[in-house]
Structure 1
């Protein structure tokens, strides 16, 4: 069971720690990461969070207390995380989980800076609601 790219590390152990709101991951190369649920949620690889290109990211707010309610395997290359706020569209490949773990401090600091710049909060969800793109005649 390899990562997405040949010879890349893959998880040999994944544990969900609900009390501490952490996902512990140990990789085949010996790397170990503790990834907070909030961190995983705000860095979801989904289009809903990252958009479809540069500059289309949606700042995630109010996720401090989010829980992981389910972890579902996706083939032999990824997992799908289901969060307590209903988000479940991101597939976390082994390579993506490794990237998140190895860049945790940098990514977290960047997220906190974006929150501050936007005057947003980890406690209050002010993410814009999605609206239908259909006109009122075709709903």
Structure 2
């Protein structure tokens, strides 16, 4: 995970592009990133996606067409998107958004590799969530 530091520049602009499904975000250091909703969704920092520890990540699939229904600000440090598939538990800090923007090529490659390893594609439907307390993936 990217080191979260107080040195990460603050965002100067955030624009949601519904048509192209990207979040455009500009930072105080002059960098501008266009982060696809799909990338944000599959790398959501929520426990639902990241699990509760290393190796617990839940591979997200079928999110190519995901939209952004709502975006709320969390304090002065993060945004909380509500995606069109109902997922809304991810809190995206400025550091994490900067990380997603800066590393998106590597993140896409990693995602494609994890999909391939699972025999899935970006368009594979997500299996229904396992019953709570089940403890293992199917």
On whether the aligned pair clears a TM of 0.5, the verdict is yes
1:42–1:49 Cα contact (<8 Å) kept: yes
- CA distance in structure 2 between the partners assigned to 1:132 and 1:55 by the alignment: 18
Give 1:37 shift. 0.6
Matched, 1:92 2:86: no
Residue in structure 1 matched with residue 131 of structure 2 by the alignment: 131
The structural deviation recorded for 1:6 is 2.5
Matches within 5 A, 1:68-107: 68-107=68-107
Match of 2:32 in 1: 32
Query: C-alpha distance in 2, partners of 1:85/1:30?
Result: 32
**Does the CA-based 8 Å contact 1:120-1:126 persist in structure 2?**
no
Q: Calculate the TM-score normalised by the size of structure 1.
A: 0.89
* CA distance in 2 between partners of 1:126 and 1:7 (Å): 37
Cα distance in 1 between the residues matched to 2:113 and 2:87 = 23
Q: Distance in 1 between matches of 2:111 and 2:9?
A: 26
Q: Which runs of 5+ in 2 are unaligned?
A: none
In structure 2, the CA distance between the partners of 1:54 and 1:133, relative to structure 1 (3 Å rule), is closer
Cα gap change, 1:54/1:132 in structure 2, threshold over 3 Å: closer, same or farther? closer
Q: C-alpha offsets along residues 34-89 of structure 1, whole Å, 9 cap, x if unaligned?
A: 00110110000001101111111010011010001100000000000100101000
After TM superposition, the runs of 4+ consecutive aligned structure 1 residues lying more than 4 A away are: none
